[in-house]
Amino acid sequence: MMKVLVTGANGFVGRRVCSSLKEGGYAVRAAVRDMNENGVDFIQQVIDDVICVGNIDGSTDWSRALDGVDVVMHLAARVHILQEVSKNPLESFRSVNVLGTGRLAKLAASAGVRRFVYISSISIHGNSTDERPYVEDDEANPHSPYAISKWEAEVVLRRIAQKSGLELVVVRPPLVYGPGVGGNFLRLMRWADKGWPLPLGSIHNLRSFIGIDNLADLIVRCVEHPDAAGETFLVADGEDLSTPDLIQRIAALLGRPARILPCPVGVLRKSAALFGMEDVVDRLCNSLQVSSEKARRVLGWQPSISLVDGFAGTAKWYADSCRRRK
């Protein structure tokens, strides 16, 4: 039985990937930073091979975690932080996402691991699209410390793979949603649920999304698919939405009215600059489209759950779980 190590196993994506791997008949080992972190209890209910590796950086000891492993799925990362406290954010991101990833890959290659599946980010291409969706061959153009660190990690991984023969697979998802989601998507759901008037009616953008189940299915395909080795894949559900359309759909699923008011985008951007919220407004106003044609062609992958059904499941989770906490 093939053994797969999943880092960041207790995270939003990691939990679903572990479940999908287990359902697929793989032996799964979960690596977590701290046994007291959120989500570890869930992982321990799904699999019985959970290892604490401590902080991830250029000196992490991966020896126990890598013992007997055939494939590494590296999901652990320092992600976007809304209220950054680091005096040097780029170096903080690099410590985990570049140095930590590089050390894991080197040790994996030395331990005889055959394949390394790295979950990167669509943000390495930039924070917006104009005339067409991003494709895998588009140049890197990262705009944030997080995106820069993810791109640098990819560069390091390709160098290690070339020297060692480690089979590298890179997956770059856009915004991921599904039951248990946090971050910007959860924030939008809370806004819609409260029925607040939102000055977003003049936004005419298009953004791609990927449901957690669809993403997990693609990641699991990358474990053994012979044509995945050495490749990079972008992935999306296939239906792109504007920000106003997204909020309207969420509000309808939650049984709330969508109060979306017109406001010039330029005014939104100027107001955001006064409060240091430019990144938030960029995500609301910019288009960011992704083509998953390569994943469909090379891997034979198709989204198993439509965006409509995926949103419905996410809204049900929110109504059942998050509303009770308010």
Query: Which structure tokens are listed for 80?
Result: 């976007």
Q: What is the dihedral of CA 150, 176, 190, 312, to 10 degrees?
A: 180
**DSSP run (H or E) holding 233:** strand 232-234
Asked whether the beta carbons of 172 and 124 are under 8 A apart, the reply is yes
How far apart (Å, rounded) are the C-alpha atoms in residues 81 and 58?
A: 21
Distance CA 174, CA 127 (A): 10
Catalytic position from the list 26, 118, 134, 146 = 146
Q: What does the DSSP assignment read for 156-188? A: HHHHHHHHH--EEEEEE--EEESTT--HHHHHH
Q: Is residue 177 annotated as a catalytic residue, yes or no?
A: no
For 132, 183, 242, 265, 286, the CA distances from 129, given in Å and listed in that order, are 7, 22, 13, 17, 8
Rg of the Cα trace of the chain?
20
As annotated, the active-site residues are 146
